[in-house]
Amino acid sequence: MGGAVSAGEDNDELIDNLKEAQYIRTELVEQAFRAIDRADYYLEEFKDNAYKDLAWKHGNIHLSAPCIYSEVMEALELQPGLSFLNLGSGTGYLSSMVGLILGPFGVNHGVELHSDVIEYAKQKLDFFIKTSDSFDKFEFCEPSFVTGNCLEISPDCTQYDRVYCGAGVQKEHEDYMKNLLKVGGILVMPLEEKLTKITRTGPSAWETKKILAVSFAPLIQPNHADSGKSRLVHLPPVAVRSLQDLARIAIRGTIKKIIHQETMSKNGNGLKNPPRFKRRRVRRRRMETIVFLDKEVFASRISNPSDDNNNSEDIEDERREEEEIKPSELKPDPPVNFLREKVLSLPLPDPLKYYLLYYREK
C-alpha cells in the first residue's frame, strides 16, 4: 500500500512531498511528522526504504505507508488533552506522533497482538525520549502498550475520544469498534477496503465518511481452542499525575515561554535574516505518446518546440542560484536545544536539572 508520492532523501523531504500532494493539510500534523524520523522505526538494514511512500513489513513488525498515516492523522482531528486508543499499535510510530499532539494531559494507549512487537515499540519509544531533540519541543503524552487481541477488550474498559484500528475490520465487528468511542469521538479504520471515518454524534447516532481505498491485512480472530475461554485485554488505567510530575511540566512550560520571549525580543517579530536554501526545481518532462494504428503499436516522442529553450533556461537559472548561495548556507547549522541549555544554566542542584530534562542523554 502506498506509492502516492515521490520518495524523499530524508524525513523532511518526505513530509514536503506529502504536503504537496495534500495528504498533510494541517500544521499540527506536519509538526508531528517532522518531529519523529520515520527511519528510526526501521531495522538498520532496511533504512534505505524509510522515506519511500510504501508500507514495510519484516516478520511481525509492520509500518503502513506514509500517505496512509497522513490521512489517519488528519482524519482523527487530534487536540491536546484527548484520549486515544491505537488498535494494532505495532512499532509505536503512529502512537508517538499522536502523543506529541495530545500533550501531557492526554491519554495514549495501544493494543498489540504480538509480544515481540511490543518490546520493539518500547525500545523505539525509549530511544526517542532519550535522544531526540524533538522531545524537548513538545509536551509529550507517552504511549502505554498492552499485549492482546483488540477484539477481546474488556467490556468494562473506558471509552475514548479517538480510536484507530490498523488492520482490516470485518463488517460484523463494526459495532464493536463503534462502542469503544465516547459521544463526540472519532473512529478511523479500514472497513470493507475503504479507510473510513466514523464520528459518534449521539448515544446511537453516527456519521460515516469514506476517505480512500486501501488494502489492509484483516484483523486476526480470537483463538479459544486452547482453553475455550476468552482472554480479556485490560487496558491501562487512566492515572492522575503526581504533584512532582505536574511541577516538572509547569517549570518546563515556563522556561519555554521565557525562551520564546527572549527570541522575539532579540529578533523582533520574526527572523531578520532567514536562511536561504536551494529550492527544488520541477523539470519539464517530454511527453511519450503511444499511437495505435491498424493493430500495430507505434511509440513516438512529441516535443514542445520551446522545451529545449526552457531546459537551457532552467540550467542557467540553477547555475546562477548555485553561484549566489554560499556553501555555508546550503548546510545550516544543527538546531540548538535551547530548553536543555537554559535548564543546565539554572542555579539548581544537578539531580533537579536532570529530572527537568527527563534524564535524557542529549
Dump the DSSP string for 198-225: EEEEETTEEEEEEEEE---PBPPPP--T
Q: Are the beta carbons of 359 and 343 closer than 8 angstroms?
A: no
Report d(CA 280, CA 259) in Å as an integer: 33
Going by pLDDT thresholds of 50, 70 and 90, the confidence category of residue 303 is very low
Mean pLDDT, residues 14-34: 96
Q: Which residues pair with 264 in a beta bridge?
A: none
Cell of residue 88, nine digits: 494494532
Single out the residue of 81, 85, 101 nearest to residue 36, CA to CA.
101
Q: What is the pLDDT of residue 288?
A: 42
Report d(CA 168, CA 70) in Å as an integer: 18
**pLDDT-wise least confident of 28-42, 75-89, 265-279, 345-359:** 265-279
DSSP secondary structure letter of residue 171: G
Of 6, 64, 242, 303, the catalytic one is 64
Phi-psi region for residue 81, left (φ > 0), alpha (ψ -120 to 50) or beta?
Answer: left
Report d(CA 13, CA 33) in Å as an integer: 11
Position with higher pLDDT, 89 vs 8: 89
206-215 tens-digit pLDDT: 999 999 999 8
**Amino acid letter for position 351:** P
Mean pLDDT, residues 213-242: 83
Its pTM surpasses 0.85? no
Q: Is the pLDDT of residue 333 over 60?
A: yes
Report d(CA 132, CA 59) in Å as an integer: 27
Q: What is the pLDDT of residue 3?
A: 67
Q: Are the beta carbons of 106 and 137 closer than 8 angstroms?
A: no
165-197 tens-digit pLDDT: 999 999 999 999 999 999 999 999 999 999 999
Q: What is the pLDDT of residue 263?
A: 86
Going by pLDDT thresholds of 50, 70 and 90, the confidence category of residue 229 is low
Highest-confidence segment of 57-66, 218-227, 311-320: 57-66
54-82: b (≥16 Cβ within 10 Å) or e: bbbeeeebbbbbbbbbbbbbbbbbbeeeb
Specify whether 242 is catalytic. Answer: no
Please report where in the chains the cell 505536574 appears, as a residue: 246
Element (H, E) at 114: none
112-130 tens-digit pLDDT: 999 999 999 999 999 999 9
Q: Is the pLDDT of residue 331 over 90?
A: no
**Mean pLDDT value across the chain:** 85
Q: What is the pLDDT of residue 295?
A: 43
**pLDDT-wise least confident of 127-136, 164-173, 258-267, 343-352:** 258-267
Q: What is the pLDDT of residue 360?
A: 86
DSSP secondary structure letter of residue 41: G
Position with higher pLDDT, 312 vs 54: 54
Cell of residue 307, nine digits: 522545451
DSSP secondary structure letter of residue 128: H
* SS3 assignment, position 4: coil
Cell of residue 346, nine digits: 539554572
* SS3 assignment, position 197: strand
Single out the residue of 43, 36, 62 nearest to residue 166, CA to CA.
62
245-264 tens-digit pLDDT: 999 999 999 999 999 999 88
Q: Is the pLDDT of residue 10 over 70?
A: yes
Report d(CA 152, CA 146) in Å as an integer: 12
Q: What is the pLDDT of residue 85?
A: 98
Neighbours of 120 (CB within 10 A): 20
User: What is the Cβ-side half-sphere exposure of residue 122, based on CA atoms within 13 angstroms?
Assistant: 12
Q: To the nearest whole percent, how much of the chain has pLDDT over 70? A: 78
**Amino acid letter for position 23:** Y
**pLDDT-wise least confident of 9-13, 135-139, 197-201, 296-300:** 296-300
What fold characterizes domain 70-222+229-239?
Rossmann fold (3.40.50)
Q: Where are the beta strands (DSSP E) in the chain?
A: 56-58, 61-63, 83-87, 107-112, 144-147, 160-165, 181-191, 194-202, 205-213, 287-293, 296-302
Going by pLDDT thresholds of 50, 70 and 90, the confidence category of residue 325 is low
Phi-psi region for residue 3, left (φ > 0), alpha (ψ -120 to 50) or beta?
Answer: left
Q: What is the pLDDT of residue 326?
A: 53
CA-based radius of gyration for the chain = 24
The domain segmentation of the chain, as residue ranges, is 70-222+229-239, 241-260+340-361
Q: What is the pLDDT of residue 91?
A: 97
Q: Which residues pair with 292 in a beta bridge?
A: 297
Q: What is the pLDDT of residue 272?
A: 45
**Cα torsion angle, 18, 20, 24, 28, sign:** positive
**pLDDT-wise least confident of 9-23, 105-119, 280-294, 310-324:** 280-294
Going by pLDDT thresholds of 50, 70 and 90, the confidence category of residue 5 is confident
Mean pLDDT, residues 56-81: 96
